[in-house]
Amino acid sequence: MWLFSSDEENKKAVRIVKDVFGNDIELDSNGNVILKQERVAILKDIATNTAYKETIHMDTSEETVKYATKLLNETNAILDSSPYKSYKPIYLDPSLKTGQTSTLLEFKAWRDLYLKDPIKKAIAPWTKAEKAYYESLQTKRERYQYLVIRSGLRSAVIDIPFDAIGGVDEKGRVINPEYEDIFYQVDRNKDTLKSEFFATEWGIAAGILGNPEYFASDLTGFTARYVQSTILYIQLNPKIDYRDILKIIEIYGEDYVGSFRTFKSGLRKNPLRQQQLIALAKSIKPDRFGMLPYIDEIMGVDWVMDLNRNNIALDYDGSLIEYLYDQMQAGEIKDPRDIDSTKESREEFRKAIIDSMPFLRTNMSEFIDKDISNDENKEWLREEYILAAKVARLTPPQGYPNAPTYYIPEYLDELYEAGKLDKKLNPTIPAIYRENFPEYLRKEIEDYARKRNIK
């Protein structure tokens, strides 16, 4: 039971906890969230496409305090159940700058990656052992399962065992009756109109189960997850006419590296890259199952701007990404991934993030605006925030292999010098050696390679 005291003394902050969005939330002596009276938001004038600030009054009623407090505890409990809770970073020691134990060269090589487009076959690369193992898989379903598992994508809306992945036959019938209820629930919800966020996540679940057309249905703030989902769509979709493979690569090239949606999907507008992908499409060939398992090697990957991390949904709805896009369009800031970006322009971009975050980031102590506060809207927010927590808990600490997160080099400098740069975040670590990759499967690959002397 969540208690509320009318005693003003009990409303003073006695403890601070984090919410799913990374904010410090003040709790009173009864453990209740201390709601703010008002918030200042950055809004957009659609007519002029300009940003402005507005003060909004919040609902701070006792009922809403109880609701927000319960939700804070619900979402934090979800984060505490993350399969990556035991993840332990390994920090590069900046004091070791000479000799065999030096970390400086390792750091510089990593840092400099972000000053240019990712090098093909260098980001989360396929190892020889992994490729040999994959080629040994003799059925379409085995390969489907492998590529989904390798991607790091896990369903946030319903638990899906690895054995249920791709678990339908050519006629769409469930192979294992044990999983029929999972397939039923996903099929019932995959076209939900509840919100784009829910539609995307149920779509990912449908894709995992064997319907790849549902991968990457809508944009959300979890941009790396969206891009990884899109890559799976290209790798796995059996309904694509590969005689016209040009079409899907053009879609990727147009939709993600040369259009209005580019930055909102976390990628950089890059006309040259778009043309390269379109040219590539003319020669690409699928495997005997109609799949493109090595599409990441063939067309490369892109640095993805994603402000979310494992257990932190900092920009779950994409508000901050959209604001940055508008600022770039207005010429106020420059994309730090552009080849002609400078230290100064990258710092300006970073400052824009820091300065705007308090006005755009969702905050549990600013639960609901007073003028829209009702039971229906509260419940809608509750479901959105719980889903955000579920996605955050499943976000791999080391990122998705085909959607590497972009880091501003100067930010890495600061982390390194402070001894807080986790070497396990290096994007060149092969996918099979990341902590989200199942240990049993890694052992199978290593055993397969050892027996055949593959190194």
Which pLDDT score is estimated for 1? Answer: 29
Two tokens, residue 94 = 């900046």
What the block records as the tokens of 267 is 């990628």
pLDDT at 237: 77
Q: How far apart are the first and last CA of the chain?
A: 58
Residues 205 and 344 in one domain: yes
Query: Is position 8 within any domain?
Result: no
φ and ψ at 262, to 5 degrees?
Answer: -50, -65
Q: Which residue, 161, 225, 148, is CA-closest to 388?
A: 225
What's the confidence (pLDDT) of residue 4?
A: 40
Query: What are the DSSP calls for 89-110, one per residue?
Result: --B--TT--SSTT--HHHHHHH
In a domain, 403, yes or no: yes
| Residues 298, 186 share a domain | yes
Give the integer Cα–Cα distance in Å for 392 and 21.
9
So what's the pLDDT on residue 280? 73
Cβ-in-10-Å burial (0-12, 13-18, 19+) of 156 comes to buried
The pLDDT value given to residue 6: 47
What pTM was estimated for this model as a whole? 0.92
270 and 387 within one domain: yes
Asked if the structure places residue 337 within a domain, the reply is: yes
- In this structure, the answer to whether residues 281 and 427 fall within a common structural domain is yes
Distances (CA, A) of 408 to 19, 227, 228, 335, 415: 25, 19, 21, 11, 11
Whole-angstrom CA distances from 31 to 4, 15, 70, 71 are: 9, 8, 10, 13
Are β-strands 24-27 and 38-45 bridged in parallel, bridged antiparallel, or unpaired? Answer: unpaired
**Interatomic CA distance for residues 58 and 149, integer angstroms:** 43
3 state DSSP class of 274? helix
| Separation in Å, CA 78 to CA 20, 81, 82, 85, 149 | 9, 5, 7, 11, 22
Characterize the bridge pairing of strands 50-57 and 38-45: antiparallel
Residue 162 sits in the same domain as residue 47: no
C-alpha distances (whole Å) from 276 to each of 123, 230, 279, 281, 327 are: 19, 18, 5, 9, 28
2, part of any domain: no
Name, in order, each residue with C-beta under 8 angstroms of 257's C-beta and a sequence gap of 6 or more: 267, 268, 269, 270, 271, 273, 274, 277, 302
388 and 346, same domain (yes or no):
yes
Asked if 30 and 163 sit in the same domain, the reply is: no
Q: What is the largest CA-CA distance in the chain?
A: 73
Q: Is residue 160 part of a domain?
A: yes
Domain span including residue 276: 103-452
Full DSSP string of 172-235: S-BS-GGGHHHHHHHHHHTT--S-HHHHHHHHHHHHHHT-GGGSS-S--S-HHHHHHHHHHHHH
Q: Note whether 243 and 367 are same-domain residues.
A: yes
Q: Residue 245 corresponds to which tokens in the numbers above?
A: 């493979």
114 and 194 together in one domain: yes
- Name the token pair of 276: 């390269």
How many domains would you assign to the chain? 2
Q: pLDDT tens digits, residue range 112-133? A: 999 998 988 999 999 999 999 9
Task: Using 50 as the pLDDT threshold, list the residues of the chain that sit under it.
Answer: 1-6, 242-243, 260
Give CA–CA dist 391/310, Å, rounded: 9
- Same domain? For 149 and 266 the reply is yes
What are the distances in angstroms from CA 98 to CA 105, 108, 162, 405, 417? 9, 13, 45, 29, 15
* Any domain includes 1: no
Cβ-based neighbour number of residue 94 at 10 Å: 17
Using the CB atoms, write b or e for 178-212: b if 16+ within 10 Å. Answer: ebeebbeebbebbebeebebbbbbbbbbbbbbbbb
β pairing state of 50-57 and 15-18: unpaired
**Which secondary-structure segment (H or E) carries 21?**
none
372 domain residue, yes or no: yes
Shared domain check, 276 and 179 = yes
A 10 A CB-CB count for 330 gives 11
Same domain, 167 and 250: yes
Q: Tell whether 124 is covered by a domain.
A: yes
Whole-angstrom distance, CA of residue 180 vs CA of residue 167: 10
**Predicted local confidence at residue 97, as pLDDT:** 77
